[in-house]
Structure 1
Amino acid sequence: MTGGPTVLHLQKVAGISGSEAHLISLLPRLKERGWDIRFLMLHEHEPGAWDFAGELTARGIPLDAIPLAADVDPIAFFRLGAYLARLRPTILHTHLVHADVYGQLTGALTGVPVRVSTKHGFNEFRENPGFALGDRAIATFAHTHIAISRGLARYLEEVEGFDGSSFEIVHYGIEPDGAPRAYGGRQPRLLCVGRLIPIKGHIVLLRAFAEARRQLPELRLDIAGRGPLEPALRALAKELEVDDAIRFLGYVAPVQRAIEDVAIVVVPSMGEGFGMVALEAMERARPVIAAEIGGLGELVEEGVTGLLVPPGEADPLAEAIVRLARDLPAATEMGEAGRRRALEQFLQERCTDRTELLYRDQLQSRRGRNGTLPT
């Protein structure tokens, strides 16, 4: 049931990764609490964008789309301005770089009363001084800023010059999905989930997997996700002579099904704002081997719910894989500890509570003495 303020979420979507999975979970919860939730999708016609659109609309969230011809598309700016003028949302909530650039500027020009920006992840281009300057300039149009982990807030302070303490920290949340199924495989099987792009660390994973198989030839690996790196990854797997032990699954929904088919989940990212896949694995009682970067160190408790390794290094990752794959009872104990941690500290209800509180605080602070919002 809705009737509350209209909240428009804006993001450029290419597939379903952490931020998209977060929104698929968060937005229906906000709608249940009476907010009029809408989604506007920027896209470049990637197939994965429509996977996301289908998941969100199936949950009752109205979705519109604006195509982009380039990263900076004047026609898209015009279309977005017309869309905002027609919809007149009370809150505009932007996610990721493209939505910040298009949405915060256009939202200010069209008089959206409350503008919120969430920073979700690491990107190599953030280290470009020109980009950092522009990102900070665009940020001045938002009334409040969210970071999805303390690690990401620190990164934005170190790399872009933001005041890390100015970010509201809102961790992603998980929806409990019944009791997890125990792993029943005879051979230790690993899973990596994420877009097939360089920053997700698949190349390091394949090299580590090849090294681990020298000690444990029975190891198997599933890779779930789509992306432009897939041909290169298939070629590398063949070069490393492990292609017969790897399955490329493509897009998998629900991801919990793929998680329950394996013993261990690996998150080898070179940069990860939070690590939604790690949280999903924990909720399904699977141990996680993750790069110690960004929000992953806030999720995975070393030696308790999984293992943390230096990002971008194949040898420590291979050692961690062998350690857990050789001792599946210990891996099972870590998975059970991870499930307890997920259910105690990272439920979606807590994420929704925090988001809703920020919205209400901003609405209250933006109202004038007569109780009306500025336009």
Structure 2
Amino acid sequence: MRVAHVAKVAGISGSENHLLLLLPALRARGHDVRLAMLHEGEPGAEDFASRLERADVAVERVRMRAAVDPLAFGRLLRYLRRNRPDVIHTHLVHADFHGLVAGRLARAPVLVSTKHGFNPFRGSRAFALADRTVARLANVHVAISAGLAGYLAESEGFDAASFAVVHYGIEAGSPPPPPTAEPRLAVVGRLIPIKGHAVLLEAVARARSEVPGLVLEIAGEGPLEPELRATAERLGLRDSVSFLGRVAPAGPVLERAAVAVVPSLGEGFGMVALEAMERGRAVIASDVGGLPEILDAGRTGLLVPPGDDAALARVIVELANDPARTAALGSAGRERALAEFSQDRCTDLIEALYRTALETGGRRRSATSAHARSSANAARSASRKSHGTR
């Protein structure tokens, strides 16, 4: 198959890491896979493009100068007409609005759109109407978790059943070192409100009254850093909280910790939870979005209500006082990550969606939702045949 992915990239986060694994994996299976990268000149975008090119995936850089950019749209349309892909697969809002329209004008046989995350603007009625309107151009809708599909139904009025759910995949690293018995926490992610860092700092301050040696490493950068530093100072956490800035890869930070915390207020998937599990670390995560689908609560980690610093503090204390249980959760987490979330499994599902859509693409306009459900069922069946029923 000739497959053109379209994505808006500013840096390397969850969706970008997904593409860094998926596109080379599809290419390794013999498909002609390319990426049209919408960007605004960010260094992180160039880093992402370079990494894909080193994996032998061709990248077309399309500079955007506005959220809706007619010049970028024209260039993207010419690129798609020139390459004549069988499948065009868009990721994130800018790519949906530019890539799905351009893909339809370019007469691509199949259009696929993946939704990746929770966003504050999705609550706007005007945006929801525009998003649903553009989405009708796609043959197949993919959500990275059932939790995200439900959120999109609630916030924008999508039919949750119309989404094929395809979780992100992960590749196995070398066996991780055993977790420390010391009460060490790690959180990895952008310093933005939805990631819940402020809630975590409040929880750590509460927990330290029972676990005085508790420490937290914060890996990530973002606009909230000055405010979070001030919060840590106000809570008396200067000596127990470290701000590391952007860290890539995050593995060493996770390996230094006994427990990884994902305190997000909204999370389409929660890749850092899966990365922590792959590194054999217990995870405490918010019961929101895709996180409950990653964790097997009670076996690989623990879930707490989002935004509840008192509940989060109680669970932190619980694990800090029980290193043996913490290590057992981490061991079970690595087993689950490699068995249930392998990149091969993710690639199988996406590849099957493409094949099914190409076979039935002529019925797109009359049965979009039914077509997506049919594609999802076919993809799951293919994955079971490859990996065994779980």
User: TM-score, normalising length from structure 1?
Assistant: 0.92
1-structure distance, mates of 2:178, 2:47:
28
Q: 1:294 aligns with which of 279, 289, 293?
A: 289
The residue correspondences of 1:253-292 to structure 2 (distance < 5 A) are 253-292=248-287
Cα shift readout 1:49-73 (whole Å, capped 9, x = no counterpart): 2332343333222223222222222
Give yes or no for the alignment of 1:99 onto 2:87.
no
Q: 1:112 aligns with which of 85, 90, 108?
A: 108
Give yes or no for the alignment of 1:35 onto 2:35.
no
Match of 2:191 in 1: 196
Match of 2:385 in 1: none
Cα shift readout 1:137-191 (whole Å, capped 9, x = no counterpart): 010111110111111111111221111111111111111112111124x632211
- Three-state SS of the structure 2 residue aligned to 1:290 is strand
Please say if residues 151 and 293 of structure 1, whose CA atoms lie closer than 8 Å, have aligned partners that are also in contact.
yes
Give yes or no for the alignment of 1:229 onto 2:224.
yes
2-structure distance, mates of 1:246, 1:116:
43
1-structure distance, mates of 2:19, 2:189:
16
Please say if residues 15 and 195 of structure 1, whose CA atoms lie closer than 8 Å, have aligned partners that are also in contact.
no
Match of 2:313 in 1: 318
1-structure distance, mates of 2:145, 2:268:
6
Match of 1:303 in 2: 298
2-structure distance, mates of 1:316, 1:288:
15
Q: Offset of 1:30 from its aligned partner?
A: 0.7
The residue correspondences of 1:202-241 to structure 2 (distance < 5 A) are 202-241=197-236
1-structure distance, mates of 2:62, 2:241:
37
Q: Offset of 1:239 from its aligned partner?
A: 2.5
1-structure distance, mates of 2:226, 2:48:
23
Please say if residues 95 and 118 of structure 1, whose CA atoms lie closer than 8 Å, have aligned partners that are also in contact.
yes
Give yes or no for the alignment of 1:57 onto 2:24.
no
Instruction: Give the CA RMSD over aligned residues.
Output: 1.8
2-structure distance, mates of 1:283, 1:357:
26
Q: Offset of 1:367 from its aligned partner?
A: 6.9
Q: Offset of 1:298 from its aligned partner?
A: 0.9
Match of 1:373 in 2: none
Q: Offset of 1:94 from its aligned partner?
A: 0.6
- Three-state SS of the structure 2 residue aligned to 1:39 is strand
Q: Which moved more, 1:266-275 or 1:87-96?
A: 87-96
Tell me: CA distance 1:235–1:69, structure 2 relative to 1, closer, same or farther (3 Å).
farther
Q: Which moved more, 1:119-128 or 1:206-215?
A: 206-215
Please say if residues 113 and 142 of structure 2, whose CA atoms lie closer than 8 Å, have aligned partners that are also in contact.
yes
Tell me: CA distance 1:189–1:319, structure 2 relative to 1, closer, same or farther (3 Å).
same
Q: Which runs of 5+ in 1 are unaligned?
A: 369-375
Q: Offset of 1:341 from its aligned partner?
A: 1.4
Q: Offset of 1:15 from its aligned partner?
A: 2.1
Cα shift readout 1:210-229 (whole Å, capped 9, x = no counterpart): 22223222112112222222
Give yes or no for the alignment of 1:16 onto 2:12.
yes
Tell me: CA distance 1:206–1:54, structure 2 relative to 1, closer, same or farther (3 Å).
farther
Match of 2:342 in 1: 347
Tell me: CA distance 1:40–1:350, structure 2 relative to 1, closer, same or farther (3 Å).
same
Give yes or no for the alignment of 1:132 onto 2:124.
no
Tell me: CA distance 1:67–1:247, structure 2 relative to 1, closer, same or farther (3 Å).
farther
Tell me: CA distance 1:42–1:231, structure 2 relative to 1, closer, same or farther (3 Å).
farther
Q: 1:48 aligns with which of 44, 64, 68?
A: 44
Q: Offset of 1:288 from its aligned partner?
A: 0.6
AA aligned opposite 1:115 = L
Q: Percent identity?
A: 56
Cα shift readout 1:325-357 (whole Å, capped 9, x = no counterpart): 221211000111111211221111111101100
Please say if residues 7 and 92 of structure 1, whose CA atoms lie closer than 8 Å, have aligned partners that are also in contact.
yes
Q: Offset of 1:40 from its aligned partner?
A: 2.0
1-structure distance, mates of 2:211, 2:51:
38
2-structure distance, mates of 1:143, 1:20:
23
User: TM-score, normalising length from structure 2?
Assistant: 0.88
The residue correspondences of 1:136-147 to structure 2 (distance < 5 A) are 136-147=132-143
